[in-house]
Amino acid sequence: MPTDAGRFAPSPTGDLHLGNLRTALVAWLFARSTSSRFVVRMEDLDRMTSSREHEARQLRDLAALGLDWDGEVVRQSERFDRYHAALDELERAGRTYRCWCTRREIRDAAAAPHGPGGEGLYPGSCRDLDARSFAERAEAGRPFAVRFRRVVDELAFDDELLGPQRWPVDDVVLSRNDGVPAYHLAVVVDDAAQGVELVVRGDDLAPATASQLHLAAVLGLPLPRHAHVAMVLNDRGERLSKRDGAVTLSDLSAQGVTAPRVLSFLARSLRLIGHDDTVDTARDLVASFRPEKLPAEPLAAGRVGPSRL
């Protein structure tokens, strides 16, 4: 199995905004500057919100910046057999359990005085049910999710951009209560299957990395390295979203802003070129790419529009 790829794995639920494109650019540069493969994977597990139209628009925008990829675009919606096989392996090893908790029940349990030690972690309500409690829930016919039974509380790793990290490990959902494979299982299986050696993504996902590395280790899969890119924030200090002005290539194109102009803005924000410099395509950045130059702090983009670019 080749282990020389980088990847970009968006959810095709809408157009990519500047924060997405910025992360994609960094992921692509990490790969191309080391002569590695670069793959694109559509994380379209949620078929209700994903669409081929959104996928096509996202691929068009990547290409407009000069970002190319190797091989066919992979879609998670077409790989359920792989996820089910991994889930079966974990179940046979006794590393899963059923969870009947609703989101509200999890939230209420987490807010209790003796809730979980980490914010957002599953409180373990269904982890060690006695036989009677298990039977009562099963006989009630309520849908259940399948969770990972972790065996470590936390895990440390070295991030290529953030440095040494240590985060709690969670009993993450492996299969939702509608039977659809869940994100954490799919991403671990896919990164291994596609030979992804370095995962580059937004730093909002850094806390999930420990759980995913633990899951990969239990499955006997290669452990990728990680590089978490600082986020793009709006004028309220929140993660950039569609409501924050002209934040997609389509929005900006309608206002007369070209793709090279957007690319140059992204490159300047990443300290890849000088304040007054411009580039025509991402290829212009490969030779001089140095990860150590990337900023650790988030980009405060504020209201985005032609005047900012």
Q: Which DSSP string corresponds to 48-112?
A: TT--HHHHHHHHHHHHHTT---SSPPEEGGG-HHHHHHHHHHHHHTT-EEEE---HHHHHHHHHS
Q: Which of 194, 207, 184 is closest to 86 using CA atoms?
A: 184
Cβ-based neighbour number of residue 119 at 10 Å: 9
In this predicted model, what pLDDT tens digit does every residue of 83-95 receive, in sequence order?
999 999 999 999 9
Kindly report, as residue ranges, where domains of CATH 3.40.50.620 are found in the chain.
Answer: 5-20+33-77+233-308, 79-229
The answer on pLDDT for 134 being more than 80 is yes
Three-class DSSP category at 250: helix
CA–CA distances in Å: residue 4 to residues 14, 31, 124, 148, 193: 29, 8, 37, 28, 12
Distance CA 173, CA 98 (A): 10
Pick the CATH number of 5-20+33-77+233-308 from 3.40.50.620, 3.30.70.20, 3.40.50.170, 3.40.50.720: 3.40.50.620
pTM: 0.92
- pLDDT for the residue 110: 65
User: Which CATH fold would you assign to the domain 79-229?
Assistant: Rossmann fold (3.40.50)
Do 266 and 295 meet the contact criterion of CB atoms below 8 Å apart? no
- pLDDT for the residue 105: 86
- pLDDT for the residue 50: 83
Among the ranges given (14-18, 54-58, 225-229, 302-306), the one the predictor scored with the smallest mean pLDDT: 302-306
Amino acid in position 60: R
The H or E element that residue 216 is part of is: helix 206-218
- pLDDT for the residue 114: 44
Q: Residue 234: pLDDT band by 50, 70, 90 thresholds?
A: confident
